[in-house]
């Protein structure tokens, strides 16, 4: 069995005007699909066979134990597949999901950051300040304590020994230029600000519940 491209729960253009349909289509069917193809190829190789059949989460968690000949390929493309699979679930058309955190998630944000606006401000700084390509993350660490971090390239907080601060991601933003350049050109902060309008807080709350139980995000990762 090989990994396959997940379907979106919404149309490519459903996040407009904040995320344009052309970018969504290219981002998913070209960039994300390339990570999947490269990951599958590495797992089919002799050196990658030891991880064949592993879950996407397990590949990310254990990438440092892979043979050196395939470690970088698995790190870049396993991370790329995990990060994007999660990213699509973290967005929803305006009005189709909760527009703000509530319940236990909001309590955790308030306790850690002093409020949602303060959390967003810190997250925005992490996203805008990531040099080059990468991601910004809201995560749960030891004891479920929330923290914000960023990672380069397609690394993610599940990657022990790779991520600067490992943890369980509950919200992530892609700040590679291919995620925003067609609409926002070099105006990354404008893209970051616009993205909050389509964050699916229902899904973030679900991932926070997962993290509270010591689990990485429970996602549908299709196989073919």
Which candidate, 102, 114, 93, places its Cα nearest to that of 18?
Answer: 93
Q: Is 32 annotated as a binding residue?
A: no
Q: Please identify, in words, the CATH class of the domain defined by 20-89.
A: mainly alpha
Domain ranges of the chain: 20-89, 103-212
Is the whole model's pTM more than 0.95, yes or no? yes
Q: Is 155 annotated as a binding residue?
A: no
For the chain, give the longest Cα–Cα distance: 50
CB–CB of 21/13 below 8 Å?
yes
Mean pLDDT over 94-98 rounds to 93
- The per-residue pLDDT for 214 is 94
What would the CATH number be for the domain defined by 103-212? 3.55.40.20
Q: Is 31 annotated as a binding residue?
A: no
Q: Is 27 annotated as a binding residue?
A: yes
- The per-residue pLDDT for 93 is 97
Contacts 24+ apart (CB under 8 A), 91-96: 91/10, 91/15, 91/19, 91/195, 91/198, 91/199, 91/200, 92/9, 92/10, 92/198, 92/199, 92/200, 92/202, 92/203, 93/10, 93/14, 93/15, 93/198, 94/18, 94/197, 94/198, 96/10
Q: Give the C-alpha separation, 38 to 163, whole Å.
A: 21
Q: And the tokens for 185?
A: 């050109």
- The per-residue pLDDT for 1 is 75
Q: What is the pLDDT of residues 50-75, one digit of tens each?
A: 999 999 999 999 999 999 999 999 99
Q: Give the C-alpha separation, 160 to 65, whole Å.
A: 10
Alpha-carbon Rg for the chain, nearest whole angstrom, is: 17
- The per-residue pLDDT for 143 is 82
Percent of the chain past pLDDT 90, that is, above it, reads 96
For 168, phi then psi, to 5°, come to -105, 110
């Amino acid at each position: 069995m090989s990994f396959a491209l997940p379907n979106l729960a919404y149309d490519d253009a459903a996040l407009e005007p904040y995320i344009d349909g052309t970018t969504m289509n290219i981002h998913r069917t070209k960039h994300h699909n390339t990570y999947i193809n490269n990951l599958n190829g590495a797992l089919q190789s002799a050196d990658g066979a030891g991880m064949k059949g592993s879950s996407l989460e397990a590949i990310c968690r254990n990438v440092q134990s892979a043979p050196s000949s395939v470690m970088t390929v698995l790190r870049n493309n396993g991370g790329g597949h995990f990060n994007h699979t999660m990213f699509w679930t973290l967005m929803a058309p305006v009005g189709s999901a909760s527009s703000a955190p509530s319940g236990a998630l909001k309590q955790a944000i308030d306790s850690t950051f002093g409020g949602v606006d303060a959390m967003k401000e810190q997250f925005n700084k992490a996203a805008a300040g990531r040099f080059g390509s990468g991601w910004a993350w809201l995560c749960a660490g030891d004891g479920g304590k929330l923290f914000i971090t960023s990672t380069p390239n397609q690394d993610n907080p599940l990657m022990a020994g790779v991520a600067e601060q490992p943890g369980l991601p509950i919200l992530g933003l892609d700040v590679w230029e291919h995620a925003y350049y067609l609409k926002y050109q070099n105006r990354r902060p404008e893209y970051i600000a616009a993205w909050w309008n389509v964050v699916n807080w229902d899904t973030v709350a679900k991932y926070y519940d997962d993290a509270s139980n010591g689990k990485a995000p429970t996602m549908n990762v299709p196989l073919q």
